[in-house]
Each structure stands twice: as C-alpha cells, then as structure tokens.
Amino acid sequence: IVEKAGSNVREFKKGDKVAVESIMWCGRCQSCRSGFPNQCKHVELMGLSADGAFAEYVMVNERYCWKINDLAEVYTEEDVFDIGALIEPVGCAYNGIFIVGGGFNPGATVVVYGAGPIGLGAITLSKIAGASRIIAFDVIDERVKIARDIGADFAFNINKLDGCTPCNKVMEITRGWGADIQVEAAGAAPKTIPEMERSMAINGKIIYLGRAATSTPMHLDTLVSGANKIIGARGHSGHGIFPSIIRLITAGKLHLEKMITSRYPFENIMEAIKASSARKDGKILITNKM
C-alpha cells in the first residue's frame, strides 16, 4: 500500500495498492534507453544488491510500481497482496516466452522443465495463450501435482518414467513432431538441455531461464536441421509485462492463487526460506493472511 507519495509522483497516491518490480533499472544507460530494462548496466536487485522487501515499509521509485487496486474486483482485500506478489515470477516466465522468446501461435506444444514459481508461471501463461498441449516435468511429486492442477495437460516425475526418457515422452505425445517451445526453469541444464535437444519441432525454441553455473555439453548440430533456437532471458521489467498480467488477473482470466502452496507469517520468515530450499512447494508467501 502506498503510504506516502513523493511530491513529484504523478501516478500514485496514498492508499493505492501496488505491485513492485524488483529489478531497479536506471533509466539512463544504453540498455534502458533502448527499451531493455532487464539488461540495465547499473541495475540494482531489490533484496539482493539493494534493500529488500521483507520489511514493513520500502521506499521505491514510482517507475517500478504498478497499481493493483483493480484486483479487488476479483479478490478479497488481503488476497490482493498475495496475488500481487505472484506477478513477479509469472512476469519472468512472460518475459522469457513472449517478449524475448517471441511467443507462439495458438496450437503450439509447450514443454516446461521445473515446476517452481517461474515454471508454474510458464505453464499457466501457456495455457491461457493457446497451447494445444502442455507437458511438464519435475523431480518432486508434489510439484508434478501442482503443475497438473494449474494447467499442464501432462505432468511427469522425471524419476518415475519407467525407463522412458523425457524426450521420448515428448516425441510420443507429439507423435514424432516434437515441441515448439521448451522452457528450462529447473536450473538443471546439464540434465534437461540434452533431453530438449532431442525433442524439438521444426523452428522449435528452447527458452533458457534456469540457473546452473556449470557447463552444459551441447550437440549444436541438432539446432541446424530444424532451424532451432536457444534463447536466454531474465527479468520481468518493461515491455508491458506487469500491466498485461494485472489486466489478465482483473479480467478473471488468469488464476494464480493455485500457485500458492504455503503461507508463512512475517515473524516466521526464516522458516519460509528454509522450506523454499526443499523445493516441494509452488510459491511460498510471506503474508498476513493464513
């Protein structure tokens, strides 16, 4: 909630509910001026390089804020903030698939590796954007289940495929055509990329969002025959991402509440962070609502 608006602030006033981008782009470097705030040269990340949001009040520049007052049309007062907190991870998926990745036309097959907050965002966005089939993989049963609940047509625990590999599964479901878009949101590139390489459709794309500070052995020639692409992306700022997601939620077309699997009160914050590393949850929220 906006508690106090600076005197130069034009768009917000006391009492406005807002969602805040956590990428604090400078607005002056060449990347920012070229429309790529997620590649800002002088970026500060809220909660990492800058002060974070696990605090009662935060002071943020107007240009990172988006009004979410309208969410109250579909959610209760307290749910508005919970949903608002999900815009950021869903925004990362939006940026990867639709902005940097160029999106897909209705009827495409989408495969998502990793059903954490960003992976779940990829699934739910692909569902509302007209994928004909969404196939999800994770290594934890709980997350496989959430993936299915939130919109995956097929969801598998990679470790329980009965000898079948993920790429075979994709080829089987697509009858040998392969996947049009594959999202790496598992942070396990050395394991997932080789599978993806072998299940790409013609003009297929791999959207690489995950983090794995290791080397991944690739057979690049597999990119050649299908005119395939690997596309890296990060961030959620710019490109109309936040307002698009807010509009979808307000219109009742994007239901993110299923992503929330645990809620912790403010005082149990360390416990929440611990739970987060177990990777069994969808999105864990720090919230006043229980």
Residue 23 within binding range of Zn ion, rule CB under 5 A:
no
What is the footprint of its own copies within residues 191-210 (CB under 8 A)?
193, 202-203, 208-209
Question: Out of 18, 24, 32, 125, which residue is the one contacting Zn ion (CB under 5 A)?
Answer: 32
Instruction: For its own copies, give the closer residue by CB, 201 or 272.
Output: 201
Sole window of 76-84, 92-100, 111-119, 277-285 interacting with its own copies (rule: CB under 8 A): 92-100
Helix axes 117-128, 87-94, angle to 10 degrees: 60
Q: The tokens of 284 are what?
A: 């864990």
204 makes contact, choosing from Zn ion, its own copies, none, with CB < 5 to 8 Å by partner type, with none
Residue 129 within binding range of its own copies, rule CB under 8 A:
yes
Token match 């611990």: residue? 274
- Radius of gyration over every alpha carbon of the chain, rounded to an integer in angstroms: 19
Sole window of 78-86, 113-121, 226-234, 279-287 interacting with its own copies (rule: CB under 8 A): 226-234
30 makes contact, choosing from Zn ion, its own copies, none, with CB < 5 to 8 Å by partner type, with its own copies
DSSP 98: I
Strands 23-24 and 44-45: antiparallel
Instruction: For its own copies, give the closer residue by CB, 107 or 265.
Output: 107
Sole window of 122-130, 139-147, 162-170, 273-281 interacting with its own copies (rule: CB under 8 A): 122-130
Q: How far is CA 34 from CA 29, 39, 126, 239, in A?
A: 9, 10, 28, 11
- Reduced to 3 states (helix: H, G, I; strand: E, B; else coil), residue 267 is helix
CB of 28 to Zn ion, least distance (A): 6
Residue 33 within binding range of its own copies, rule CB under 8 A:
yes
Residues 80-105: b if buried by 16+ CB within 10 A, e if exposed: bbbbbbbbbbbbbbbbbbbbbbebbe
Residue 275 within binding range of Zn ion, rule CB under 5 A:
no
Residue 40 within binding range of Zn ion, rule CB under 5 A:
yes
Q: Measured between alpha carbons, how far is 136 from 19 in angstroms, rounded to an integer?
A: 28
Q: Which residues bind Zn ion (CB under 5 A)?
A: 25-26, 29, 32, 40
